[in-house]
Amino acid sequence: MEPLTERDIRTSFVNCSKGEAKRLGVPSDLAALPWDDLDFLGYRDPGAPATGFVVAENGTGLVGVALRAVKGSARGFTARSMCSLCLTTHSSGGVALMTARRTGESGRQGNTVGQYFCTDLACSLYIRGHKKAVGTELTETLTTDEKIARTRTNLTTFLARVAE
Residues that bind Zn ion (CB under 5 A): 83, 85-86, 88, 118, 123
CB of 105 to Zn ion, least distance (A): 30
Of the pair 21, 121, the CB lying nearest Zn ion is at 121
Residue 30 per-residue DSSP state: G
Of the pair 21, 38, the CB lying nearest Zn ion is at 38
d(CA 80, CA 67): 22
**Nearest residue relative to Zn ion (C-beta):** 83
Residue 7 one-letter amino acid: R
d(CA 34, CA 98): 24
- 62 three-class SS: strand
Of the pair 21, 155, the CB lying nearest Zn ion is at 155
CB of 118 to Zn ion, least distance (A): 3
90: left (phi over 0), alpha (psi -120 to 50) or beta: beta
CB of 98 to Zn ion, least distance (A): 11
- Residues 6 or more apart whose CB falls under 8 angstroms from that of 28 comprise none
CB of 48 to Zn ion, least distance (A): 21
Q: Sign of torsion, CA 131 155 159 76?
A: negative
Of the pair 24, 155, the CB lying nearest Zn ion is at 155
d(CA 65, CA 158): 10
CB of 103 to Zn ion, least distance (A): 23
Of the pair 21, 66, the CB lying nearest Zn ion is at 66
